[in-house]
Amino acid sequence: MAFSITVSAAANRAPTFARKSFPLTVETSLEDTVEDVKKKIQSKIPKFYASRQRLSLKSEKKALSDEAKLADISVSSGSELEVKDLGPQVGWKTVFVVEYAGPLLIHPIFYYLPRLFYSTDVVHSDLQRMVFAMVEAHFGKRILETLFVHRFSHGTMPLLNIFKNSAHYHILSGVFLAFDLYRPVFSASSMHIKGTIRNDQQFLWICAGLWTFFELSNLSTHLHLRSLRPAGTKKRAIPNGYGFGFVSCPNYFFETLAWAVVCAMTGSWAAYVFTAVGTGQMIVWALKKHAAYKKEFGKAYPRRKAMIPFMI
């Protein structure tokens, strides 16, 4: 049975192009979801697309889930919802590709054009050549996973966030890491390299083998998570199998271990800074995902840590 609800704009949070459109009346039904209401608002204000909207009950500030049916959140004839403008949005895939493309493009510039940055040519050591290949492979893998493996529960994010998110990768793992790794102190003729373990082929290949193992383990967990979410859905299931027996987010754990190998290989201050900052952020994400799994699945969710086995 169809009925009408009123949608008003949250204080000072309506898009400038639609301020005169609110409040507006939307025809809906109890079987409609919050996402359906957003689409109906978009049909009345085409520029105000659904992913830009945040709906809540008039008396509450908590955002309503897109999947929630109006019948389940006590919305009926005459009810009023508030809409908040989240601002211009950009797709998550675009965000990740932009983030990872930064280091992928920045490292070759420092590697192949050292005179621009160090005022001298650099004869690269085996360490530099190997780490350069590893960095390029890592971020190339991340882009391919974004395009062909990951399935996102949220299609978009605020456009301004792309600059904040990219800074972490473009500056820390891009400019800082590249500048430090390819400088003369790590070159083939440097006393910091000659006659040290960092010039030992066995050490370098052991590190490369460990790094490859952790990167492939990371990929394995991503493929498993993909298998749990059918295309075009936001469905979630309890992840199990390799890595998941100990933690909820083994993908973050394996990525941390891969970068720890780079730190051990090079002793680079920039590698340590990027790894520390990245690990801290991944712990925050892992704790949130772990809590979400426990809330959604309750007692059915296995006992495990969030990211680091037996610790966190």
187 pLDDT higher than 80: yes
157 pLDDT higher than 70: yes
Contacts for 65 with CB less than 8 Å, ≥ 6 apart: 34
Domain boundaries, the chain: 2-87, 90-300
Q: Does residue 196 contact residue 133 with C-beta atoms inside 8 Å?
A: no
Q: Does residue 54 contact residue 22 with C-beta atoms inside 8 Å?
A: no
Determine phi and psi for 54, rounding to 5 degrees.
-125, 110
Q: What is the DSSP string of 232-298?
A: T--------STTTTTBS-HHHHHHHHHHHHHHHHH--HHHHHHHHHHHHHHHHHHHHHHHHHHHHHG
241 pLDDT higher than 90: yes
> Tens digit of pLDDT for each residue in 30-75?
888 999 999 999 999 998 988 888 899 887 878 888 888 888 888 8
Determine phi and psi for 9, rounding to 5 degrees.
-90, 135
Q: pTM of the prediction? A: 0.86
End-to-end CA distance of the chain: 50
> What pLDDT does residue 3 have?
86
What single-letter amino acid sits at 16? Answer: T
Is residue 113 classed as helix, strand or coil in its secondary structure?
coil
Q: Does residue 306 contact residue 283 with C-beta atoms inside 8 Å?
A: yes
What is the CATH code for 2-87?
3.10.20.90
> Tens digit of pLDDT for each residue in 250-304?
999 999 999 999 999 999 999 999 999 999 999 999 999 999 999 999 999 999 9
What single-letter amino acid sits at 133? Answer: A
Here the tokens at position 31 are: 């079987």
